[in-house]
């Protein structure tokens, strides 16, 4: 899933229903974080709490879930 939604990612990453969707349905995500709405560290914390491993690639915060059992 790629998110480049000009700051609206902050609202989504704070929304419990959206976080549940990410946790249950999404294995890979790339988010362009707009720091005036949400600091990158807050977005990283959200992804970590949903069991994503994270890295930064250019302007995107990327998250990937490891295979089950690892």
Q: For the segment 22-52, what is each residue's pLDDT rounded down to a tens digit?
A: 999 999 999 999 999 999 999 999 999 999 9
* Residue 7 domain boundaries: 2-64
Q: Does residue 69 form part of some domain?
A: no
Residues shown for the chain: 70
Q: Does residue 70 form part of some domain?
A: no
Residue 11 CB neighbour total at 10 angstroms: 12
Q: Does residue 29 form part of some domain?
A: yes
Distance (Å, rounded) from C-alpha 51 to C-alpha 25?
12
Domains contained in the chain, number: 1
Q: Per-residue pLDDT averaged across 6-28, rounded?
A: 96
Distance (Å, rounded) from C-alpha 63 to C-alpha 47?
7
Average pLDDT, the chain: 94
Q: Does residue 43 form part of some domain?
A: yes
End-to-end CA separation in angstroms for the chain: 22
């Amino acid at each position: 899933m790629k998110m480049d939604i000009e700051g609206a990612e902050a609202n989504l990453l704070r929304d419990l229903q959206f976080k549940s969707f990410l946790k249950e349905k999404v294995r890979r995500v790339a988010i362009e974080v707009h720091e005036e709405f949400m600091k990158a560290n807050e977005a990283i914390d959200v992804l970590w709490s949903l069991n994503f491993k994270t890295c930064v690639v250019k302007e995107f915060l990327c998250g990937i879930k490891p295979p089950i059992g690892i």
